[in-house]
């Protein structure tokens, strides 16, 4: 096993490499020449990969490294080791970075990250912009920003399924160790014996020093979670969304609500046009059947939830209704995930419309990790999409689809539409993803009132088809 430290400055394309073995540590970006271990071997290879002694040794090096780069204004992953299957990193946050990540952030004209939610926001920003599909973070459920360990499986030669299983198995074993460490930290801190913290305890304590709760270590120990990076999913989603986004924003503007709300599709599905959940939510906005039926056609042959533009109109109406009942955009957004009825219960229980107070104080089994983090995850997505050119400078988006709407005045056979507009089966499905392939291939019929999309250069003289 080879062991190294690599500090990556997230605000630069450059990376700072600190290796140990028989060579000096060098931080290229900062221009520092450090000799932390001298020229002797560390003997880390003698430890089992996830032993406490091994973790203590690496944690101490992160602590020592931090003393020399404490002016960085962003948290950095420090690569601590790698073997044939994955790379392990620890997150280091300088005092300056901690201060910055605790401040409020203006995302857009209509949305702002409050300081109390800023650290959650930065966690999700890393998930969407920095951590790739091959990276997995072990973190606290109670305090998502407390990232205990990150592993990267990109060096593994196995399939994606194998890598996912590898990461899951390793981090589950690590979570057992970290839970034991956190519980011991709780016990020592209760007895005023923080001076007895081991290096790995000190590293964790440093990550949690912004939290004032006296039971923070115990709360963190109660529930740890593995989060996979979604950088590639967001990039793919941006490409998938680009032909439709112009019209989707119009749908939200037409309802008189902030067009930024349209970006909720990236939280729901990463704008996966074929998204379908285990409970029956379908489309980029993940609309449930009963909800969808209130606003559009939902059946086996025509499911308008699968059309990103039509489903956007339904989502916009739902947001408008949520806001009318909650009188708060943060709560209306959370209600999109948790349900507006449940959010009204939360308001009653906590006695406030403040999303921060509800996240901290609302007690309900159904109000779990996903619901508590839905709003901050949305803000991180909004930040990402507002800064695409900077975050994903090489991303190539598709031009907007050009189409016209045609409302059918009577029941119409698809064979007639193909003839009237000179459209192939593939073209009809491309412009109308809400139509099943079976329906179009077998020239079924479309009901009166159905709104068909046709290429903008296609026209009809039929009175049954009105533009």
At 396-434, the pLDDT tens digits run 999 999 999 999 999 999 999 999 999 999 999 999 999
Report DSSP state, residue 400: P
Distances (CA, A) of 315 to 268, 332, 380: 12, 12, 20
Residue 4, SS3 per DSSP: strand
8 Å CB contact between 414 and 372: no
Q: Rounded CA gap, 134 and 10, in Å?
A: 18
Mean pLDDT throughout 144-164? 92
8 Å CB contact between 216 and 143: yes
pLDDT band at 80 (very low <50, low <70, confident <90, very high): confident
Short-list 19, 15, 37, 16, CA closest to 27: 16
Q: Where are the alpha helices (DSSP H) in 327-448?
A: 329-338, 340-350, 355-361, 369-386, 388-391, 414-421, 425-431, 437-441
Mean pLDDT throughout 305-332? 97
Handedness of CA 161, 166, 169, 172 (dihedral sign): negative
Distances (CA, A) of 36 to 54, 274, 355: 17, 52, 45
8 Å CB contact between 268 and 286: yes
Task: Out of 59-63, 89-93, 97-101, 256-260, pick the least confident.
Answer: 59-63
7-16, 27-36, 168-177 — most confident range: 168-177
**Would you state the pLDDT for residue 306?**
97
Whether 20 has a pLDDT exceeding 50, the answer reads no
Strands 445-446 and 412-413, bridge-based pairing: antiparallel
**Would you state the pLDDT for residue 369?**
96
Report DSSP state, residue 428: H
Residue-range domains of the chain with CATH: 4-228 (no CATH), 231-391 (1.10.530.10), 403-466 (no CATH)
CA angle 6, 12, 16 (to 5 degrees): 25
Whether 36 has a pLDDT exceeding 70, the answer reads no
Q: How far is CA 77 from the centre of its chain?
A: 18
8 Å CB contact between 77 and 89: yes
Q: For residue 2, which phi and psi values (nearest 5 degrees)?
A: -100, 140
Whether 82 has a pLDDT exceeding 90, the answer reads no
8 Å CB contact between 7 and 67: no
Residue 19, SS3 per DSSP: strand
Strand ranges (DSSP E) for 63-211?
Answer: 76-82, 87-92, 105-106, 112-113, 135-140, 147-152
Write the DSSP assignment of 294-343 as a string of letters: TTS-BSSSBBGGGSHHHHHHHHHHHHHHHHHHHS-HHHHHHHHHH-HHHH
pLDDT band at 71 (very low <50, low <70, confident <90, very high): low
Mean pLDDT throughout 284-309? 96
Short-list 3, 14, 18, 13, CA closest to 65: 18
283 φ/ψ sector (left φ>0, alpha ψ -120 to 50, else beta): left
**Would you state the pLDDT for residue 61?**
82
């Amino acid at each position: 096993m080879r062991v190294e430290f690599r500090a990556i400055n997230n605000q630069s394309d450059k990376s700072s490499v600190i290796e140990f073995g028989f060579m000096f540590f060098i931080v290229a970006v900062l221009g520092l020449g450090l000799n932390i271990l001298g020229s002797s071997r560390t003997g880390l290879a003698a430890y089992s990969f996830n032993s406490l002694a091994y973790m203590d040794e690496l944690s101490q090096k992160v602590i020592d490294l931090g003393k020399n780069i404490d002016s960085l204004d962003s948290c950095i992953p420090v690569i601590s080791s790698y073997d044939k299957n994955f790379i392990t990193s620890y997150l280091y946050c300088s005092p300056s970075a901690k201060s910055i990540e605790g401040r409020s952030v203006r995302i857009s004209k209509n949305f702002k990250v409050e300081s109390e939610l800023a650290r959650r926001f930065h966690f999700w920003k890393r998930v969407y912009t920095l951590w790739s599909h091959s990276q997995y973070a072990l973190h606290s459920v109670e305090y998502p920003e407390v990232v205990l360990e990150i592993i990267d499986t990109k060096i593994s030669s196995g399939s994606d399924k194998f890598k996912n299983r590898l990461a899951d198995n390793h981090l589950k074993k690590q979570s057992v160790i970290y839970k034991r460490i956190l519980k011991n930290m709780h016990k020592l801190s209760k007895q005023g014996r923080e001076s007895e913290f081991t290096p790995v305890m000190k590293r964790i304590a440093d990550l949690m020093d912004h939290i004032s709760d006296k039971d923070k270590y115990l709360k963190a120990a109660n529930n740890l979670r593995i989060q996979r990076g979604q950088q590639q999913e967001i990039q793919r989603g941006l490409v998938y969304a680009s032909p439709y986004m112009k019209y989707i924003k119009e749908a939200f503007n037409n309802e008189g609500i902030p067009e930024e709300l349209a970006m909720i599709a990236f939280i729901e599905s990463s704008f996966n046009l074929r998204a379908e959940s285990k409970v029956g939510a379908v489309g980029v906005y993940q609309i449930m059947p009963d909800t969808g039926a209130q606003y559009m056609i939902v059946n086996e042959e025509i499911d308008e939830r699968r059309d990103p533009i039509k489903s956007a109109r339904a989502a916009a109406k739902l947001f408008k209704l949520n806001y009318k009942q909650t009188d708060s955009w943060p709560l209306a957004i959370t209600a999109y995930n948790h349900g507006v009825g449940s959010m009204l219960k939360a308001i009653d229980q906590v006695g406030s419309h403040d999303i921060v107070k509800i996240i901290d104080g609302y007690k309900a089994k159904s109000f779990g990790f996903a619901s508590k983090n839905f709003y901050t995850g949305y803000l991180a997505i909004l930040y990402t999409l507002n800064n695409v050119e900077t975050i994903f400078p090489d991303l190539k988006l598709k031009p907007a689809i050009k189409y016209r709407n045609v409302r059918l005045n009577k029941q119409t056979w698809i064979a007639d539409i193909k003839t009237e507009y000179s459209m192939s089966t593939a073209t009809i499905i491309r412009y109308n993803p809400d139509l099943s392939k079976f329906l179009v291939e077998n020239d079924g019929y479309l009901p009166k009132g159905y709104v068909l999309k046709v290429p903008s250069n296609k026209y009809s003289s039929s009175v049954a088809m009105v533009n």
